[in-house]
Chain A
Amino acid sequence: MTVDEKTDGRSDGGRVVPNYAVTRGRTRSAGPDLPIEALMTATAHGRAALAGLAPEYRAIVEASSTPRSLAEIGAVLDVPVGVARVLVSDLVESEYLAVHLPLVDADGRPRRELLERLLDGLRAR
């Protein structure tokens, strides 16, 4: 892995992970694009494999010990969503991460029972 030379003025000297270096030039993931709110959780398999993973993969699996969205993983690694999507897709393919997709109807909208559950949850706050 190469080290990203860019600095963005932060005290730690820049990104934790260089962008398209770690994706080996890939800008798209192999499968269908994960939506930005898709949730990831580390699998037992992924936790067991932690020590052997490259740093950027390890950071993602560790962060996903609690459910994390693709957007959060991008923020944790300080990489654009597109980069996070490629890396996460690799981990999903290896079954180190489980992915939890939005549940939508045929028209692409969230199911009605989910909207009602959301409403109950927000009103109870």
Chain B
Amino acid sequence: MDCAPAEHGSVARPDRQQLVPLKILVAGGFGVGKTTLVHALSEIPPLSTEQEMTSLSVGVDDAAVVPDKVTTTVAMDFGRITVDDAMILYLFGTPGQSRFWFMWDELARGAVGALVLVDLRREDDCFAAIDYFENRGLPFVVAINDFPGSGDFDDETVRDALVLHPDCPLVRLDARRADSALGGLVALVEHAVARSAA
């Protein structure tokens, strides 16, 4: 679906409210398939944005100490889905390491929820993300990426291993396939709607 030209912004949408952005986070350990999933779903070519670590803590008055060279930046892949004529959903692949949690606070604010990708060969990598979203009360779904061998464990075994709350949906998907990845997003949004009703 193409996005609507901006020229139509205020005149051609009498019945739809203004443009509205939404975001979903895609979290999980390094190499679990976050980037693959974002790229499978995105309608735009893969984009990456940088967040500079110092930029959040240095105020206007400290301009003199702003380094003239970028020292540490965190790259973040993201994608875009035009949902309807006025709604655009962004998917952000969030760095999994706990030292990047300062970014998650900004990213998590106002998010629909998070898809936590898990590689069952390295399931320890997802605990940080699960803990974070549980503590923040952000709706999330655990999605097992379909790596070889992931079918060896049934859902109950996985839930036990990850100490998942009974209400937390568990899905399986292939992050390389758009239709499969989309199923993960739908499960998350269903969960977010259900949580919204409570």
Q: Which A residues have a C-beta under 8 Å from some C-beta of B?
A: 6, 19-20, 25-28, 35-39, 41-42, 64-67, 69, 71-72, 74-75, 79-83, 98, 100-104, 108-110, 112, 114-119, 121-123, 125
Contact = CB atoms under 8 A, between A and B. Distances in A.
Interface of B: 3-7, 9, 17-23, 44, 47-52, 54-56, 58-60, 62-64, 66, 68-70, 73, 76, 78, 80-81, 83-84, 87-90, 92, 106-107, 109-112, 182, 185-186, 189-190, 192-193, 196-197
Given A39-B88, A82-B51, A125-B182, A112 B197 contact: yes
A75 B22 contact: no
A103 B81 CA distance: 18
Contact of A67 (B6, B48, B66, B186): B6
Contacts of A25: 63-64, 66
A35 B108 CA distance: 10
B189 A66 contact: no
B83 A121 contact: yes
Given A41-B9, A100-B20, 19 more contacts: A20-B66, A25-B63, A27-B54, A28-B59, A65-B6, A66-B5, A67-B3, A69-B90, A80-B49, A80-B70, A83-B52, A83-B55, A103-B20, A110-B22, A114-B20, A114-B22, A115-B189, A117-B84, A119-B193
Contacts of A101: 21
29 contacts: A20-B66, A27-B54, A35-B106, A36-B23, A36-B49, A37-B23, A39-B88, A64-B6, A67-B9, A67-B88, A71-B49, A72-B44, A72-B47, A79-B50, A80-B49, A81-B49, A81-B55, A82-B52, A83-B52, A100-B18, A103-B17, A109-B110, A110-B192, A114-B87, A115-B193, A118-B112, A121-B83, A122-B182, A125-B81
Contacts of A64: 6
Given A81-B51, A109-B110, A117-B87, A122 B22 contact: no
B182 A67 contact: no
Nearest to B19: A100
Given A81-B51, A117-B87, A102 B5 contact: no
Nearest to A64: B6
List of 7 A-B pairs having minimum Cβ-Cβ separation, nearest first: A82-B55, A121-B83, A25-B63, A100-B19, A75-B47, A41-B6, A80-B52
A37 B22 contact: yes
B20 A36 contact: no
Contacts of A117: 83-84, 87
B193 A82 contact: no
Contacts of B185: 122
Nearest to B1: A125
Given A81-B50, A82-B51, A39 B190 contact: no
